[in-house]
Structure 1
Amino acid sequence: MNSPIFEILFIHNKLNGSLERPVYLQLAEIILLSIKEGKLKTGQKLPSSRDFASFLDINRITVSKAFEELQNQGWLESFTGRGTFVSSHIPEIKPEKLQKQSNRTQKNSGFIIEKKPYLENSYFVPKTNLHFDDGFPDPKLAPLKELYRAYRNQLTRSGLYDKFGSYGNPDGSEYYKNAISQHLNETRGLKTTSKNILSVRGTVMGVNLVCNALINPGDIIVTGVPGWRRAENNFLHAKAKHIGISVDEHGLVVEELRKICQKQKIRMVYVTSHHHYPTTVSLRIDRRLELLKLANEYGFIIFEDDYDFDFHYSNRPLLPLASADENGMVIYCGSFSKSFSPAFRMGYLAAPENVIEHLTNVRVLLDRQGDHILDNAMGEIINDGTVQRYLRKSLNIYQDKRDYFCSLLGSELGDFVNFSIPNGGMTVWTKFDTSINLEKLASKAYEKGLYFSDGKAHQYPNFNANGTRLGFASSSKEDLMKGVDILRKLI
């Protein structure tokens, strides 16, 4: 029997036995498409599996499997002695509506998305051989072999069920937290135990988690200007009110903060005290003490982002605010992304125990737990001294690169740029002459094979230094020379 349904189904569709996709699924998809397009109606009876098999010259079992697949999905229903029908539970479908959409991919949703300016990120990944980046480390120096060895050890040692058979603690593995706690106590003067540590996937996650857990709509958050846009965008997304205050050669101008505190209730101050982002200046000791005093007096949180503590060249690194915090006002955040590589998303928050407990409970809503295997591997190379040896070695190399790069900037571009040799970090905050269009310069340099930021991320309504961060740590001396030569010729 040649049912007219066969013409509906197969006038534009054919089965292909040479494809990897099973024939029964191909048949099921052809029937399903005809239902969705309204060509097969609700309650319509289909030819028998015997007739399908005869018409298509395929095995009857293949047809039965196709029917069964669609029955399981609810598109067909079968009745003993009566046959197989398009499900009566499917509402009537207008063919023209679905036909119009059937050949296009879904680029836009059918629901409204409220677009916000601070969420418009280009996620630009430069593809040049030369780069003055945002202060990334040189991956050639990172102890990748040691980290790989430690990670492999985690996969081969005993206790597989504890590692892979169930979930672990959402605040991080105990081994990693103990390693981080001891590391912070020895190197940064903190007074922590594992209960004061929360493992996070880098600084951005730490900022976002604090916003979700401790910031309510309308809360006031104060940062320095210029500052880090990624943190500021998190504050805006939390519907907080963001207030920017000045940054000078001694860091955050804390006197401006006091004046705000006298008029408004502040919930949090975000600060990069060691090397202010983006200008790299350090917060002077009197301002550090005054900031802690204000936090105690007015009850606001200090979020201390210490993104590159380990790289300070002129003297020993300044101890973080958290080391002098006697009243539990500071949430301290660190990351290994600036030590090893941005590709490794390993970081931590250090705070009073009840804060960590609260942040952990909120973290579960987003991420049941982090990567305990990677955390344990990191903990192992902290405990065996690998990280400490790497930091000592790379510190000398980065200082040498800093001196060489600053010498090049001074000798080759001295008439067009203004900068101070940074005491630490991996970038030079460089201000260009106002006659130079930094955006155009960055675009032309990119065409020549050199990437650097055009500085737009550091511009504010009342602040534009025509400056940008020129990173030196991830480049060789030869590449630094080539990059500066490109800038010299363009300028």
Structure 2
Amino acid sequence: MDSPVEIPFKSFIQLKPEESTAIYLQLVFEFIKAIQTGFLPEGTKLPGTRILCKVLSVNRNTLIKAFQDLESQGWIETLPNKGTFILSQQKQKNKAEFTVSKEQNIPPDNIGFNFQRSTILESPIETSNLPYQFNDGMPDLRLVQTDVLARLYVSKLKRRKTSKTYEQIELRSHSNFKTHFSNYLNLTRGVRISTSNLLTASSHEIALYLVTKVLITPGDKVVVASPGYYMSNMTLTNTGAQIISIPVNEDGIDTKRLKEICETTKIRVLYLTSNYHYPTTISLSAKKRIEVLELANQYGFVILEDDYDFEFHYDNNPVLPLAAFDSNQKVVYIGSFGKSLPSGFSYGFVAAPAEFIKELEKHQNILEPRIDVIKEQVLTEWITEGEVHRLSKKNKKIYKERRDHFVSILNDKLKGKIKFKIPPRGLAIWVEWLDHFNLVQFQKECSKQGLFLPKTILYQTKNLTATRLGFGNLEKEEMEKAVSILGECLAIITQ
């Protein structure tokens, strides 16, 4: 296994000796944040304290004290003669009744060849068989209209054969799909693009991977918001970029801090979820939108705008992305389409200058060399016949009702225990707990009562105890029971 020292600790463990907070506590909070944001996935082996204290420029006794605190809170475990590891949920499955979704066991040492292993890309995603579950804001698969899609898909498969070659059909089908899809994005998101400005991919994750592959080289400085999205942070870190985090305020990222960084450091990319910040659900204010675009033009960095949840907005005048107002071609806009459709029918896409799209296509031809003609024909028909708009309108009504009911339950059952703002879009609510308690202990107590809280929705620092509670996958009765369990478990651990 690659040496854990190769992990770029100093890019995400940022200590400030000038502050009054003890260094060992800063270490505790920084390591917790790194675990929650995916920089240190579960199962990661940490370097020995002698090595790590040199890397972080701290006293060894200070580091040992921080590790003792982290271990007592359940974030790490030290195994005799083996080392210190980010706590593996696999070893707690009999207690918590949940397991990691993919096996992450280290292969045996006696295999016949060596290969590179990534400590960055270990999946932090967990699954559970518990009856009640929160996630970070996923749609309800029970609402998917599989029968309608199935009929349309089968009808396309049965269409009369033509004399054209598969390559001719593929090219024409893809061109037709891109034309209708770019028109759809222009209409719904105001981005004003043509087909030459659009790349479609099989998923949002593939779209993000392709962009970072072409846009970022090792050593580039990339600014991200903190707290941020663990999956995108993993993808960005895997490029070899140096990650610089900036705080999020009540109206979005701290643009004053962004400018200060730009004045002293050459920034390559600002990664931004402007319309619905992950995880806090905050939307970037109009004033800060202008400031970010001006700073990008002034200092020459690229804005990588990730609009992962545009489809779930609950007003008639949704906030348009920065890409809709980008007159200087500084924004690379990525997003998702069809998140309410069955698995395999959703898409990721990139809207950007034509020359950049051409370069992305070169790399996509390796990852995704063939086009799913039938899938694109089905979605083209759904778009042209207005079925996508109809389904979107229907789903938004259902999810708005769920959001409002969830808000009502939170206010009823957790009044005086939490604070939150009602998000105008998305399928999750950012809940800050007024009491400061150990979220890992809270998670374990909820598990005993039949409620699953994945670690990816738990956020804890010195001044913050928060959870991102997804409501989209829950019906009303499920919401009531889940929130009741939250209240009961909170009473147990804070008594």
Q: SS at the partner of 2:382?
A: helix
Q: How many angstroms apart in 2 are the aligned matches of 1:108 and 1:204? A: 34
- Alpha-carbon distance between aligned partners in 2 of 1:161 and 1:244, rounded to the nearest angstrom: 56
Equivalent positions of 1:144-293 (< 5 A) are 144-159=146-161, 168=170, 173-293=174-294
Q: How far does residue 386 in structure 1 lie from its aligned partner after superposition?
A: 0.9
Q: Aligned residue for 2:77?
A: none
| Higher deviation after alignment, 423-432 or 134-143 | 134-143
Number of residue pairs matched by the alignment: 384
In structure 2, C-alpha distance between the alignment counterparts of 1:395 and 1:108, rounded to whole Å = 54
Task: Tell me, yes or no, if the aligned pair for 1:143 and 1:386 is still in contact at 8 Å.
Answer: no
Number of the residue aligned with 1:134:
136
Moved more, 221-230 or 303-312: 303-312
Aligned residue in 1 for 2:335: 334
How big is the shift at 1:464? 6.5
- Which residue of structure 1 aligns with residue 112 of structure 2? 110
Quote the offset at 1:161 in angstroms. Answer: 7.7
Partner in structure 2 of residue 125 of structure 1: 127
Q: Distance in 1 between matches of 2:239 and 2:228?
A: 18
The answer to whether the 8 A contact 2:311-2:337 is kept is no
What TM-score comes out, normalization by structure 1 length? 0.72
Residue 122 (structure 1) shift: 4.5
Shift of 1:382: 1.5
Does the residue aligned with 1:118 lie in a helix, a strand or coil?
coil
Matched AA of 1:272: T
**CA spacing shift, 1:336–1:161, aligned 2, 3 Å:** farther
Q: Considering only CA atoms, is the larger Rg found in Structure 1 or Structure 2?
A: 1
- Give distance in 2, aligned partners of 1:222 and 1:362: 24
Displacement, 1:111? 3.5
Rate the CA distance shift 1:155–1:229 in 2: closer, same or farther, 3 A. same
Counterpart contact for 2:204–2:336, Cα < 8 Å = yes
Tell me the CA shift for residue 442 of structure 1: 2.1
- Equivalent position of 1:349 in the other structure: 350
Amino acid at match of 1:121: S
Stretch moving more, 159-168 or 248-257: 159-168
C-alpha separation between the residues in 2 aligned to 1:228 and 1:200? 20
Q: How big is each residue's C-alpha offset from its partner over 1:33-78, in whole Å with a ceiling of 9 and x where there is no partner?
A: xxxxxxxxxxxxxxxxxxxxxxxxxxxxxxxxxxxxxxxxxxxxxx
Q: Deviations over 1:233-288 (max 9, x none)?
A: 11111101111111111111122111111111111111111110000010001111
Alpha-carbon distance change, 488 to 381 in structure 1, aligned in 2, over 3 angstroms: same
Could you say what the CA RMSD is over the residues aligned between the two structures, in angstroms? 2.6
Q: Is the 8 A contact 1:220 1:268 kept in 2?
A: yes
Match of 1:476 in 2: 475
Deviations 1:315-364 (A, max 9, x none): 52101111101122111112135343566442211111111111001222
The structure-2 alpha-carbon separation of the partners of 1:351 and 1:336, relative to structure 1 and needing over 3 Å to count, comes to: same
**2:415 equivalent to 1:414:** yes
**Cα gap change, 1:122/1:248 in structure 2, threshold over 3 Å: closer, same or farther?**
closer
Deviation at 1:314, TM superposition (A): 4.8
Contact kept in structure 2, 1:445 and 1:451, CA below 8 Å: yes
Q: Give the 3-state SS of the residue equivalent to 2:123 in structure 1.
A: coil
1:381-460 maps to which residues of 2 (within 5 A)?
Answer: 381-455=382-456, 458=459
Matched position secondary structure for 1:173: helix
Could you say if the C-alpha distance between residues 255 and 126 of structure 1 is closer, same or farther in structure 2, counting changes exceeding 3 Å?
same
- Give the equivalent residue in structure 2 for 1:313: 314
- TM-fit CA distance, 1:448: 2.9
Task: Give 2:357's aligned amino acid.
Answer: I
> Displacement, 1:456?
6.5
Structure 2 counterpart of 1:425, which letter?
G
Question: For residues 25-104 of structure 1, what are the structure 2 equivalents within 5 Å?
Answer: none
Given that 2:136 and 2:457 are in contact with CA atoms closer than 8 Å, whether structure 1 keeps it comes out as: no
The one-letter amino acid of 1:197's match is L
Report the alpha carbon displacement of residue 428 of structure 1 after superposing the two structures with TM: 0.6
- Extract unaligned runs of 5+ from structure 2: 1-106, 491-495
Please give the per-residue CA displacement for 1:91-139, whole angstroms capped at 9, x wherever unaligned.
xxxxxxxxxxxxxx97863334454432232542222332221111122
- State the shift of 1:313 in Å: 2.4
Mapped to 1, the partners of 2:393 and 2:420 lie a distance apart of: 26
Using a 3 Å threshold, how does the CA distance of structure 1 residues 446 and 268 change in structure 2: closer, same or farther?
A: same
Q: Is the 8 A contact 1:313 1:424 kept in 2?
A: yes
Question: 2: distance between equivalents of 1:429 and 1:108?
Answer: 47
**Would you say the 8 A contact 2:135–2:457 is kept in 1?**
no
Range with bigger deviation, 471-480 or 107-116: 107-116
Q: What corresponds to 1:465 in structure 2?
A: 464
One-letter amino acid of the counterpart of residue 340, structure 1: L
For residues 362 and 194 of structure 2, the distance between their equivalents in structure 1, rounded to whole angstroms, comes to 19
| Cα distance change, pair 161–478 in 1 and its aligned pair in 2 (3 A) | farther
Match of 1:481, as an amino acid?
E
Shift of 1:230: 0.9
- 2 CA distance for matches of 1:439 and 1:343? 34
Q: Percent identity?
A: 36
String of CA shifts for 1:193-249, please: whole Å, max 9, x gaps. 122111112221111111111211111111111111111111111101111111111
Q: Counterpart of 2:290 in structure 1: which amino acid?
A: L
Task: Give yes or no for the alignment of 1:487 onto 2:489.
Answer: no
Change over 3 Å in CA distance of 1:411–1:374 after alignment to 2 = same
Q: Structure 1 residues 160 and 356 mapped into 2: Cα distance closer, same or farther (>3 Å)?
A: farther
- Residue 454 of structure 1 and its aligned partner are, at CA, apart by 3.3
Q: TM-score, normalised by structure 2?
A: 0.72
